[in-house]
């Protein structure tokens, strides 16, 4: 039985925990959850799980793997400690790796302690194909992300367009993936994962749209290279509680955990 810890118990962290408890993630149990404040009495907590605001208590649970589901700052704060205390690390806030020095430091720590940093497909598809294709030559990769206006509150999108009255799609960003990941840390983590799988942050092109005509989150990946061409269109149903993310992200983590605990691994 794999012993898992979760950093963060917001919409995404809870969804991951629920899938594990429902036996959708293979032979895994949630042993510890690190939170900023204790959950309310009405929130479901896995049995025999330590829920704490104390990082030392959290890391003292002899965890095999830790899932980061709490944002860039949490990854920067706890990523190195996760690896150095003997746990593999599943990263959802991949956009934090747009910070080159942080990414390189974490890789060095992982190698030193013989641990892995795992990046799930999360909200997009095709990372396996991109990662394989880069073994040849990839000429171009473009990501186009479209989300409804309520997904963009609290971002620089509010400075570029009126999210209350916008009536047609509007491009709020066009540039490379490094800047996209830094500007939209909760909305465009997919650009970072795509960059790491493929041709890097500078060479990966990104377009970001506020789109009042849609109710889902859309990601389109276009790639061309020695392997041929890829055009992948993904439509994700957003969480009602947090439209910036989608249930498929939690399902993707459950799939990674299942691969780690079962005899047959699919989609690597």
**Closest to 94 measured CA to CA, from 118, 78, 113, 111:** 118
Domain 127-236 top-level CATH class = alpha beta
In the chain, how long is the greatest CA-to-CA distance?
A: 55
Establish whether 189 is an annotated binding residue: yes
User: What residue segments make up the domains of the chain, in order of their start?
Assistant: 2-123+247-261, 127-236
What tokens were used for 184? 């939209």
CATH 1.10.3720.10 fits 2-123+247-261, yes or no: no
DSSP summary character for residue 163: T
Whether 2-123+247-261 and 127-236 share one fold: the answer is no
Establish whether 176 is an annotated binding residue: no
User: Active-site residues: which are they?
Assistant: 219
Question: From first to last of its 268 residues, what are the pLDDT tens digits of the chain?
Answer: 999 999 999 999 999 999 999 999 999 999 999 998 876 645 678 888 999 999 999 999 999 999 999 999 999 999 999 999 999 999 999 999 999 999 999 999 999 999 999 999 988 888 999 999 999 989 999 999 999 999 999 999 999 999 999 999 999 999 999 999 999 988 888 999 999 999 999 999 999 999 999 999 999 999 999 999 999 999 999 898 888 889 999 999 999 999 999 888 877 7
DSSP summary character for residue 25: S
Helices 11-21 and 247-261 sit at what angle, rounded to 10 degrees? 40
Sign of CA dihedral 159, 162, 163, 164: positive
């Amino acid at each position: 039985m794999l012993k898992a810890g979760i950093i963060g118990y917001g919409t995404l962290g809870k969804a991951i925990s629920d899938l594990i408890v429902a036996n959708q993630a293979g032979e895994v149990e949630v042993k510890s959850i690190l939170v900023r404040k204790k959950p309310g009495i009405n929130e479901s907590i896995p049995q025999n799980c330590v829920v704490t605001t104390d990082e030392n208590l959290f890391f003292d649970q002899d965890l095999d793997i830790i899932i980061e589901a709490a944002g860039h700052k949490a990854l920067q704060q706890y990523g190195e400690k996760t690896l150095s205390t003997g746990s593999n690390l599943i990263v959802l806030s991949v956009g934090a790796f747009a910070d080159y020095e942080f990414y390189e430091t974490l890789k060095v720590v992982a190698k030193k302690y013989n641990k892995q940093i795992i990046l799930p497909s999360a909200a997009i598809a095709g990372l396996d194909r991109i990662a394989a294709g880069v073994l040849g030559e990839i000429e171009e990769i473009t990501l186009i992300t479209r989300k409804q206006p309520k997904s963009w509150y609290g971002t620089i999108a509010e400075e570029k367009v009126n999210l209350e009255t916008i009536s047609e799609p509007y491009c709020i960003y066009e540039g490379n993936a490094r800047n996209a990941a830094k500007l939209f840390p909760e909305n465009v983590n997919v650009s970072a994962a795509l960059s790491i799988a493929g041709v890097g942050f500078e060479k990966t092109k990104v377009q970001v749209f506020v789109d009042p005509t849609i109710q889902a989150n859309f990601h389109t990946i276009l790639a061309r290279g020695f392997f041929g061409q890829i055009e992948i269109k993904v439509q994700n149903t957003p969480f009602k509680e947090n439209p910036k993310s989608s249930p498929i992200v939690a399902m993707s983590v459950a799939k990674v955990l299942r691969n780690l605990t079962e005899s047959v691994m699919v989609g690597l």
